[in-house]
Amino acid sequence: QRFRFCGDLDCPDWVLAEISTLAKSSVKLKLICGQVLRDLLGEAMEYEKILRLTSDAKLELGDVKATIAVLGFVLCSAAKHGVDSESLASELQQLGLPKEHASGLCRCYEEKQSCLQDKLRARSLRLSRLGSVCWRVDHTLSSSELREVDEPLVHLTFNMQDGECGGTATIPMVLSADKFRVLLAELRQAQALMNSLI
């Protein structure tokens, strides 16, 4: 059977198994979801709080980790495929999660859906990222070849974050006035094309 929150594929076996475990226990799912969402959004997860919440339901350490894993998968996967919270609730109920658990989970999801999607968008594959641009304009007075040069010169430095190896790279270059005008014209055309898309 196909599920939208799994990307129109079958639900993985381990998720099915963990959902049936969750269905049987009486954990306060909404609070644990809140903690898992904090972790997914980049803040620190308060693991001790989760342990306290699950100790009432007498879950073992392995089960606690499995619960965190399955909640993380469901929330991330639903955000990835842009599933709305009603569809998510109905699909989770089809998989055997009781109505209260499913609606609690989906309320958490609905609140944070756009934040989660923004976070996932930022995490998408990027090969390189422009950090900053530094520039300087000089005026060459004279050189060993010609006594009166009198020409402006642009120094450009691009600071890049290399996505391939994860370091920073610095690319310095020097341009004459004409070359700089060409660069500027081409970049302006590219900018106009980008603006026409937005």
Partner 1 sequence: MLLVLSEEHKAHLGSLLQAGGPAIGELGRLAVELLRRGAAPRACETAARKLNIDVDIVQHGVEGLTYLLTECSKLMISEIDFQDSIHVLGFSDELNKLLLQLYLDNRKEIRRILSELEPKLPSYHSLEWRLDVQLASRSLRQQIKPAVTIKLHLSQNEDQTAQVLQTDPSTLLHLIQQLEQALGEMKTNHCRRIVRNMK
Q: Cα dihedral angle (189, 191, 197, 198), rounded to 10 degrees?
A: -160
Distance CA 163, CA 7 (A): 27
Distance CA 181, CA 186 (A): 9
Residues constituting the chain = 198
Whichever of 153 and 183 has its CB closer to partner 1, that residue is: 183
Whichever of 133 and 165 has its CB closer to partner 1, that residue is: 165
Whichever of 57 and 160 has its CB closer to partner 1, that residue is: 160
59 neighbors 131 (Cβ within 8 angstroms): no
Rg (CA), the chain: 27
Whichever of 130 and 197 has its CB closer to partner 1, that residue is: 197
Supply the minimum distance, in Å, between the C-beta of residue 73 and partner 1.
Answer: 15
Distance CA 184, CA 135 (A): 13
CA atoms within 13 A on the CB side of 112: 22
Residues forming contacts to partner 1 in the complex (CB under 8 A) are 124-125, 127, 163-165, 186, 190, 193, 197
Supply the minimum distance, in Å, between the C-beta of residue 193 and partner 1.
Answer: 5
Supply the minimum distance, in Å, between the C-beta of residue 125 and partner 1.
Answer: 4
Supply the minimum distance, in Å, between the C-beta of residue 164 and partner 1.
Answer: 6
Reduce the DSSP state of residue 86 to 3 states and report it.
helix
Q: What are phi and psi of 48, to 5 degrees?
A: -65, -35
Supply the minimum distance, in Å, between the C-beta of residue 176 and partner 1.
Answer: 19
Whichever of 44 and 127 has its CB closer to partner 1, that residue is: 127
